[in-house]
Structure 1
Amino acid sequence: MKYKLILEYFGANFHGWQKQKNLRTVQGVLEETLSKIYNKNIFVQGASRTDSGVHAYGQVATFLPPNFSLKPEKLKKALNSLLPWDIKVKKIEMVPISFNPVKDSKAKYYIYKIYNMDYLSPFYYKRAYLVKRTINIFHFEKILKVFIGKKDFAAFCDKEIKEKKDTVRMLFDIFVDKSEENIIDIHFLGESFLRYQIRRIVGTALACYFNKISLNDILKAFQTKETLPYSVPGEGLYLMKVFYKDLDQK
């Protein structure tokens, strides 16, 4: 057996999930804290390598403790008492040692937040992306629907990823609503996502909405695989949940 953690963190204070030398990362802070508790080096594996600035409400991570003297609830309290304010553990449970947070995931759910007003509220600084021009969410959603389905997203991901790995991904659904008067939430549910994929989709959809490119330009990009030069910053992106059962069983 090993421990499975569900985490939430304020991504603006981290250089992404993955541990990097001389940089503050979520994995690095978590491993350092666990190592203090167990007095032994601990390796943590995360379900998603969130980029710099990206937030999480439902990141999943696992680790194998040197012993099970601390039960899940006591370990959760110990971790949250030692972890800094910008990362906390929501839940801990025991799972089979064969459980892999990456390979066993069935789907991931993200939200991208747009602050649609003429200025950015200080309460949403580094928590949402400011778009000053008015967006009609129904028209905007129609553009985003083009990205749904099993497609080759080579034109909508990191260039290095594009050259090294398969870029076909299944996007189950995208829909748009408002969580607050000025907050537009773009919901993404997909089997898995490429690096920068969601941010490039949002940036491209905004470019289309504001008539910088046409819908045909987007469809053409899927065919040619040529990267379109549109993206949005990571500060508006939130990992909400990682699914480990078939979606019809959730």
Structure 2
Amino acid sequence: MRYFIELSYRGTAYHGWQTQANGISVQSTLEAALTQRLGTPIYVMGSGRTDAGVHAQQQFAHFDVPEPLPLTETFLYSLNCILPEDIAIHRIVAVPEKAHARFSAISRYYQYHITRHKSAFHSGLTLHFRPLLQIEKMNAACQILLQHTDFQSFAKARADVTNFHCRLDFAYWSYTNDDCLTFHIKANRFLWGMVRTIVGTMIDIGQDRLSLDRFEQIILARDRNVAGRAAPANGLYLVEVGYPADIRQAFGKGPGAKG
């Protein structure tokens, strides 16, 4: 049987989502908890790979087991007790056999948070950036971004992909509150390092260090070397993963846990 997990995590302590040899990952931590609770080796596949230090308000992963699981609130609570405080499982549901956390996903929505004032409670959770940014000009850059589909200029040079095309649904900046400036972007897929590089380049626009004409030239160049520096990981959040109706319906049937 195949199950989807909906979870969230603070990425500060992890070397990204994917299991790797040189550090602790969210994936390996989740697999260890499931293996301990179920008494058999469990391997999970995530909807996408977040970089080291990136957070997720909503992430999905799937795993397979030979027998049905006891999907009760007590079962979910016991898993959350095994996991560290910075990873939380919200629900586990049975899904169709061919449902795939990564390949069945039809959209991903990210946010990037910037605060101007230092906060004892936001350390590691936002980019603390003091200069005042021109949000109108940055939103004008978003309108240019939405006219394009090839984002090779914003992908890491070592990105192992067959193409650099992404279909953007929206991209804009807004003030979440008086102090927090948030970048919103949703697409069918994202390239490795894409959102952070777009943010870093738009910060230059917001400081009048880069013109809108030059921004479009950067997109058309399809060359990572001409774009700005990637913004730090700590301000980036995966906030929503979209799936087709049959998978969404499955999530409406299973129990959920917030504890």
TM-score w.r.t. length of structure 1: 0.92
Measure the CA separation in 1 of the matches of 2:107 and 2:39.
Answer: 35
Question: Given residue 116 of structure 2, which amino acid in structure 1 is its aligned partner?
Answer: N
Measure the CA separation in 1 of the matches of 2:64 and 2:72.
Answer: 13
Alignment of 1:179-194 (within 5 A): 179-194=176-191
Measure the CA separation in 1 of the matches of 2:220 and 2:22.
Answer: 41
Secondary structure, in 3 states, of the residue corresponding to 1:180?
coil
Alignment of 1:79-228 (within 5 A): 79-117=79-117, 120-161=118-159, 164-227=161-224, 228=227
Q: Please give the per-residue CA displacement for 1:35-91, whole angstroms capped at 9, x wherever unaligned.
A: 111111111000010000000011001111242242253431221111110001012
Question: Given residue 151 of structure 2, which amino acid in structure 1 is its aligned partner?
Answer: F
Structure 2 stretches of 5 or more lacking a match? 250-259
Measure the CA separation in 2 of the matches of 1:69 and 1:197.
Answer: 37
> RMSD value over aligned CA atoms?
1.9
User: How far is 1:211 from its partner?
Assistant: 2.3
Between the aligned residues of both structures, percent identity stands at 28
Measure the CA separation in 1 of the matches of 2:104 and 2:209.
Answer: 40
Structure 1 stretches of 5 or more lacking a match? none
Match of 1:25 in 2: 25
Match of 1:45 in 2: 45
Which structure has the higher relative contact order (CA within 8 Å, separation 6+)?
A: 2
Q: Is the 2:204–2:228 Cα contact (8 Å) retained in structure 1? A: no
Match of 1:35 in 2: 35
Q: Structure 1 61/207 Cα, relative in aligned 2: closer, same or farther at 3 Å?
A: same
Measure the CA separation in 2 of the matches of 1:240 and 1:224.
Answer: 30
Q: Is the 2:133–2:207 Cα contact (8 Å) retained in structure 1? A: no
- State the number of aligned residues: 245
Q: Please give the per-residue CA displacement for 1:135-194, whole angstroms capped at 9, x wherever unaligned.
A: 243332222222114411110011011x65311111110122222211111111111101
Measure the CA separation in 2 of the matches of 1:72 and 1:106.
Answer: 29
Match of 1:54 in 2: 54
- The structure whose residues are more often strand, as a share, is 1
Measure the CA separation in 2 of the matches of 1:217 and 1:99.
Answer: 42
Question: Given residue 237 of structure 2, which amino acid in structure 1 is its aligned partner?
Answer: Y
TM-score w.r.t. length of structure 2: 0.89
Judge which range, 208-217 or 124-133, deviates more.
208-217
Secondary structure, in 3 states, of the residue corresponding to 2:58?
strand
